[in-house]
Amino acid sequence: GQSYEIRMLDNRKLGELPEINGKLVKSIFRVVFHDRRLQYTEHQQLEGWRWNRPGDRILDIGKSHLAGAGGESQVSLTCSPKDIPMSVGIIDPRANPTQLNTVEFLWDPTKRTSVFIQVHCISTEFTLRKHGGEKGVPFRVQIDTFRENEGGEYTEHLHSASCQIKVFKPKGADRKQKTDREKMEKRTPHEKEKYQPSYETTILTEVR
C-alpha cells in the first residue's frame, strides 16, 4: 500500500490547555471519502470493499517499532518513497478488525512523534466503470485527537485536521503526474496563478 509519514506537531499557544501537560492524548486516523456523494453511501461502499478484499484493511500503521512516547498536535503529511522508516513515539497502536479504514494510538504532546500509515486501496476501486484510465475518487485522511476525561476514557475532543489524497498504482501515478504537468505547461501564466504549487509536505487543514 501507499505509505505516508504523519508528523504530529504541538501547536498550542503558550499557556494553552495546561491540563494536558504531562498527559497522553489519543489520535484516531481515518481514510474517508472526500466527495459528499460517496459520504452518504460510505458504509455500503466499505462493506462492498470488504466483500471483494476479504482479510485486507484499507488503513494500517506501517511496520515499525511501535513503542516509546512522543508527539504534537498540528499535523503534516509527507508521501514516502519505497521503504517505511520506523515510526517514533506512538504508544498502544490499535486497528479495530471491524473498522477497516481506522487506526488509533496514544502519544505525548511534549515529545517527538512520527507515524507511518499505509493506504491499501486505490482511488479507482470505488469508480463505477473500470476499463482503465478512470479518474479515481479522492479520499480524505482525517485525524481526530482526544484527551482523557475524569473516567480515564479518551472522549474529550481537542483537535481535528484533514487533507485530500488520491492513491494510484505506481504506473498510474506516474501517468497522472505526467498528464497534470503537460496540462499545466499549456496554461497561460495568468491561469497558472489559480493553482497551488506542489510541495513535498502538506500541512493538514484544521477541521472545526
Query: What are the pLDDT tens digits along the chain (208 aa)?
Result: 667 789 998 887 777 787 888 899 999 999 988 777 777 777 888 888 889 889 899 999 875 433 333 333 344 444 444 434 468 889 999 988 889 999 999 999 988 899 988 888 887 777 766 555 556 788 889 999 999 998 999 999 999 999 988 787 656 555 666 666 667 777 787 777 777 667 677 888 888 7
CATH number at residue 169: 2.60.40
Please count the structural domains in the chain: 1
Range of the domain at 8: 2-206
DSSP-derived secondary structure for the chain: -EEEEEEEE--PPTTSSGGGTT--EEEEEEEEESSHHHHTTHHHHHHHHHHHSTT--SEEEPSS---S----SEEEEEE--SS-PPPBS-EEEE--TT-TTEEEEEE-TTS-EEEEEEE-S-GGGG-S--SS----PPEEEEEEEEEE-TTS-EEEEEEEEEEEE----HHHHHHHHHHHHHHHHHS-HHHHTTSPPP-SEEEPEE--
